[in-house]
Amino acid sequence: MIEREQVLHVAKLARLGLSEEEVERMAGELSGILEHVDRIGELELDDVPPTSHVVELENVLRADEPHESLDRDVALAQAPDPVDGAFRVPSPQAEG
């Protein structure tokens, strides 16, 4: 069962603003899905190696050769707030 507090904590980690109504709904929906998912917790899999990859490749490496970078205008073309050749963002709260 996912509590409201957990929903708020996870939303914070995910930088996802949720309305009050979404928090309530999310708590119910996540609980339902996780209840189903929890059945894999009952499987005896202690000695089973995890699979994070199905390809069996190793050492896929790139030669250290420069490619052409984007024109700065192109790099900034889609930015919501380009200023002085850079991407402007609201400051994080002042640190230290």
Partner 1 sequence: MTDMLELTAVQAQEAMASGDFSPAEYGKAWAEAAAEDELNAYLWRDGNGDAEAISVEEPSLAPVAVKDIFCTEGVPTTAGSRILEGYRPAYTSTAVRRLIEAGAPVLGKTNMDEFAMGSSNENSAYGPVLNPWDRGRVPGGSSGGSAAVVAGGLAPWAIGTDTGGSIRQPASLCGIVGLKPTYGAISRYGMIAFASSLDQCGPLTRDVRDAALMLSVLQGADPCDSTSVGLGEAPSLPDREDLRGLRFAVPSELARDAIEPGVREVFEATLARIEQLGGEIAEAPLPHAEHGISAYYVIAPAEASSNLARYDGVRYGMRSEGSGDLIEMYETTRAEGFGSEVKRRIMLGTYALSSGYYDAYYGQAQKVRTKIASDFSAAFAEFDFVVTPTSPSVAFGLGEKTSDPLAMYLNDFFTVPMSLAGIPAISIPAGLAEPAGGGPRLPVGFQIAAPAFAEQKLLAAAHALEGAIGFDARPEGVRG
Partner 2 sequence: MAELEAVIGLEIHVQLATKTKMFCGCELSFGDEPNVHTCPVCLAHPGVLPVTNEQAILYALKIAAALECEVAPRSIFHRKNYFYPDSPKAYQISQYDIPIASNGRLGDIRIHRAHLEEDAAKMIHVGDSGRIHGSGASLVDFNRGGTPLVEIVTEPDLRGAAEAAAWARLLRETVRQLGVSDVNMEEGSLRVDANVSVRPAGSDELGTKTELKNMNSFRFLERGMEAELARQRELIEAGGTIVQETLHFHPEDGTLHPLRSKEEAHDYRYFPEPDLVPIAPTEQMIREARESLPELPAARATRYEGEMGLPQDVAALLAADPETAGYFEQVAGSASDIEPRVVANWVTGELAAALRQDGGEVTAAESKVESGALALLIGMVQEKKISHGSGKTVLATLVAEGGDPEAIVEREGLAQISDSGEIESIVAAAVEANSEAAEQILSGNQKAIGVIVGAVMKETKGRADGGEVNRLIKKQLGL
Question: CB under 5 to 8 A by kind: which of partner 1, partner 2, none does 72 bind?
Answer: partner 2
Q: What tokens does 16 get?
A: 């996802």
Q: Which helix (H) or strand (E) holds 8?
A: helix 4-13
The residue written with tokens 């190793």 in the block is 58
The CB-of-72 to partner 1 minimum distance in angstroms stands at 12
Distance CA 12, CA 19 (A): 13
The CB-of-64 to partner 1 minimum distance in angstroms stands at 14
Distance CA 86, CA 78 (A): 12
The site for partner 2 (CB under 8 A) is made up of 9, 12-13, 15, 52-53, 55, 57-67, 69-70, 72, 75-76, 83-96
The HSE-up count of residue 96 (CA atoms within 13 Å, CB side) is: 0
Which residues sit at the interface with partner 1, rule CB under 8 A?
2, 6-7, 9-11, 13-19, 22, 26, 29-30, 32-34, 36-37, 39-41, 43, 45, 48-55, 57, 60, 62, 70, 74-75, 77-81, 87, 89-93
